[in-house]
């Protein structure tokens, strides 16, 4: 059964992927609620029978046509939006992962209207959700630690 995204009967598990190519991070412009028109990291709902990492790779391919290598888990974030009557309109449990670009050129597909590489230093000026900025910052730290291990 596919749950409605608006006023769902339970939280929807989704993945978000911070993708790095050298010192640039990939962002997409959402074209569906709840963050319609906003820049964000690529990702989407996990399917039954799919691992979080499989969902991350699939969503990135569907939204941007990129192939990635997952480096690891960043954090889990709750995104809950209420309407004017205080009813839960959207509820996502977001599992965010960090990845490295392997191949492809960003090409906006499915749930996004644009996909582009941004210098990490320019990301805060885009006015994204504060949690997205926090996740990108943490991913940079994880990636730096990962590179020291290799």
- For the stretch 39-98, pLDDT in tens is 999 999 999 999 999 999 999 999 999 999 999 999 999 999 999 999 999 999 999 999
Average pLDDT estimate for 15-19: 98
Distance from C-alpha of 35 to C-alpha of 29, rounded to nearest angstrom: 9
Summarize the confidence of residues 119-134 as an average pLDDT: 94
Q: Exposure of 129 by Cβ count < 10 A (0-12 exposed, 13-18 middle, 19+ buried)?
A: middle
pLDDT digits (tens, 9 = 90+) for 130-147: 999 999 999 999 998 766
Predicted confidence band of residue 150 (pLDDT cuts 50, 70, 90) = low
Q: Does domain 12-145 have CATH number 3.40.1280.10?
A: no
Can you say whether the dihedral through the CA atoms of 56, 57, 63, 68 is positive or negative? Answer: positive
Report which of 56, 55, 51, 62 is spatially closest to residue 19, judged by C-alpha positions: 56
Residue 133 backbone phi and psi in degrees, to 5: -60, -45
Q: Which residue ranges make up each domain of the chain?
A: 12-145
């Amino acid at each position: 059964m596919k749950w409605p995204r608006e006023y769902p009967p339970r939280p929807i598990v989704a993945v978000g992927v911070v993708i790095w190519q050298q010192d640039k991070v990939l962002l997409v412009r959402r074209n569906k609620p709840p963050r319609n028109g906003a820049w964000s990291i690529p990702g989407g709902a996990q399917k039954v029978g799919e691992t979080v990492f499989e969902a991350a790779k699939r969503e990135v391919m569907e939204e941007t046509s990129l192939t990635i290598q997952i480096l690891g888990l960043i954090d889990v974030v709750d995104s809950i939006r209420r309407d004017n009557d205080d009813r839960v309109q959207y509820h996502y449990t977001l599992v965010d992962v960090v990845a490295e670009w392997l191949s492809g050129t960003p090409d906006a597909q499915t749930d996004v209207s644009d996909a582009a590489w941004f210098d990490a230093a320019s990301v805060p000026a885009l006015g994204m959700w504060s949690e997205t900025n926090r996740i990108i910052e943490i991913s940079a730290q994880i990636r730096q630690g990962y590179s020291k291990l290799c």
